[in-house]
A = this chain, B = another copy of it.
Amino acid sequence: MTRIWNFSAGPAALPEEVLKQAQEELLDWQGAGCSVMEMSHRGKEFMSILAQAEADLRELMGIPEQYRVLFLQGGATQQFAQIPMNLLAGRSADYIVTGSWSKKAYKEAQRIGTVRCAASTEESGFTRLPTAEEIKLDPFAAYLHVCTNETIHGVEIPAQRIADTGVPLVADMSSHILSRPVPVEKFGVIYAGAQKNIGPSGVTLVIIHRDLLGMAPLNIPTVMDYAVMAENGSMLNTPPTYGIYIAGLVFQWLKRQGGLAGIDAVNAEKARILYECIDNSGGFYTNPVDPDCRSRMNVPFVLADGGLDAAFLADAKAAGMLGLKGHKSVGGMRASIYNAVSLDAVQALVGFMNDFAKRNG
């Protein structure tokens, strides 16, 4: 078995230790005599898996007691609707648009109710954050929505830019959650699809302040009412049990890496060497994003000579590196270097990129 270097944007690489444990336990979880996939979600074995996953996540992120942790389905895309369905309560909400994903969230919310665009950097090609002056907030907004890491455009909002605006802050953290410490207490809602830094696709994590529960109208689907899901411990109906189990194994792996402080240091170094490679390539590779908000998880770059794209991807594949093709909306390349992508993998990528530039420059 040869494992590839996996730079996929998601579903993405998982820690090999996690996969090996899942493999060992696949037919018989810790002597239960059956797979986690075959267990009643209301039995004591799965209840313990769910409780441990939540406890580990709370410890990793330092989630205060007044927040509820929900393991849901439907992905961030479903949250784009679920957020306004639960939180608008007949009012208006503000959206800051800094890339494809926050733009999608804004458009989806328009189907549900009244929302405003408080700022957009689309005219820049989504290569920077809006300045404080550009952001026009409604002080009476039901909430302010941001995407703290734009997977496609590679734009990340640094934690120090998260300011209190007086309204609940709702953040899509799908593609950088658990990659660094986050001040949870500054947010009303944090949500994330699992398939980047948490586990397999099909699990959606929602961390919500209890004061935001109970505002949903009675005509939305019961499974989409955060308050009902919170009351039922994410088990109004059958949750995606196997995905939650894998997420729990990832949380345990993260704790063994020294928690979010530990992984933060590795992620910083991975991003540093990759951006350095791009910036020092003499224009062979370029990344268009303002260095103040470059993503540490998703690094899009283009080759000066787009005619070399196919050769780059073919040579990368020959070197065992996959998932490097950029999103079709921006073209070029993208290396997603999530938690489970090791420093070794990024060093190998940098080595390959330097060599490719030398051979083709």
Contacts and interface: CB of A to CB of B under 8 A. Distances in A.
B77 A34 contact: no
Interface of A: 1-4, 6, 8-14, 16, 19-20, 22-23, 26-28, 32-35, 37-41, 43, 73-78, 80-82, 85, 108, 111-112, 193, 195, 199-203, 218-224, 236-243, 246, 320, 322-323
Given A40-B323, A202-B242, A82 B221 contact: yes
Given A11-B39, A201-B41, A202-B240, A3 B28 contact: yes
- Stoichiometry (number of copies): 2
A200 to B, nearest CB: 4
A2 B238 CA distance: 26
B222 A77 contact: yes
Contacts of A322: 33-34
B14 A37 contact: yes
Interface of A is mostly: loop
A6 B29 CA distance: 14
Contact of A241 (B1, B11, B40, B76): B11
Given A34-B4, A108-B222, A238 B10 contact: yes
A337 B258 CA distance: 45
Contacts of A202: 73, 202-203, 239-243
22 contacts: A1-B33, A2-B33, A6-B33, A8-B38, A8-B39, A8-B40, A11-B38, A12-B38, A13-B34, A14-B37, A19-B27, A20-B27, A23-B23, A41-B201, A75-B238, A77-B223, A80-B222, A82-B221, A201-B241, A202-B203, A202-B240, A202-B243
